[in-house]
Amino acid sequence: MGNAVVKSYCEGIRIMPNQKAVVLLSGGMDSATLLYYLLDQKWDVHALSVHYGQRHSRELIAATDIARAANIQHEIVDLRHIKRLLKGSSQTDDVPVPEGHYEDPSMKVTVVPNRNMILLSLAAAMAIGIGAKTVAYAAHAGDHAIYPDCRPEFVGAMRTVMELCHYDGGVELRAPFLHLSKATIVKTGLRLKVPYESTYTCYSGRERPDGTCGTCVERLEAFKLAGATDPVEYEAKETK
């Protein structure tokens, strides 16, 4: 599928007041921003979070806090047993979490095998169950270097599959941040008053983020580029 086609599928979200959408809410800053973005567009948002045995399950507490603050319906599904199948990733297996830049090739070890297809499948099923026609997820341009299941080609292909997964056109997949940088997401979120202090991004899963893993580095960089300060308290003081 050509990029132009994928782009037209995914850019922007039409304003359809009170239409139901399921958003995959990880507890991180991208999906929290997406949630507020959809609410700002007057969507009737229902959130889904999944415990798949991730090291950073601390993010599920963050997801709960974010959904509560936004006063929306939130499902957390416990699928910890599938961790047995998700081998080779630092996030689900006994593999050290790498430090360094988010786009460094060493970060490939943080890829959870086929995670987003699994999560999007569940979101599609939930959407059908509650009569929603749309699933939204927060893949963005910064993810493309390392994460195959965040790339435009993947999103376009999943969109096709999800349209075919049920009667009457199935479910529409939207990824409005697909071509945006994380700094632009931060700027958007600050405008929408996303409670970034409640979000959790770190791969370590420790109570306080370390400020040194790839995703912490990326987050801090995004705030800096956006000309803002990350309100989250970090373990390490020598953060970039």
Give me the residues that bind Zn ion (CB under 5 A), please: 202, 209-210, 213, 216
Closest contact distance (angstroms) between CB of 209 and Zn ion is 5
Q: Which is nearer to Zn ion, 121 or 239 (CB)?
A: 239
Closest contact distance (angstroms) between CB of 91 and Zn ion is 12
Handedness of CA 166, 150, 154, 79 (dihedral sign): negative
Q: Which is nearer to Zn ion, 180 or 213 (CB)?
A: 213
Closest contact distance (angstroms) between CB of 176 and Zn ion is 26
Nearest residue to 138 (alpha-carbon basis) of 189, 172, 177: 177
Q: Give the 3-state secondary structure of 90-124.
A: CCCCCCCCCECCCCCHHHHHHCCCCHHHHHHHHHH
What Cα–Cα distance (Å) separates residue 184 from each residue in 79, 84, 147, 181, 225?
Answer: 33, 36, 19, 5, 9
Closest contact distance (angstroms) between CB of 182 and Zn ion is 14
**Alpha-carbon span 229 to 52, nearest angstrom:** 31
Closest contact distance (angstroms) between CB of 157 and Zn ion is 30
Q: Which is nearer to Zn ion, 64 or 239 (CB)?
A: 239
Containing 49, the helix (H) or strand (E) segment is: strand 44-51
**Alpha-carbon span 207 to 31, nearest angstrom:** 20
Q: Which is nearer to Zn ion, 25 or 202 (CB)?
A: 202
Q: Which is nearer to Zn ion, 210 or 230 (CB)?
A: 210
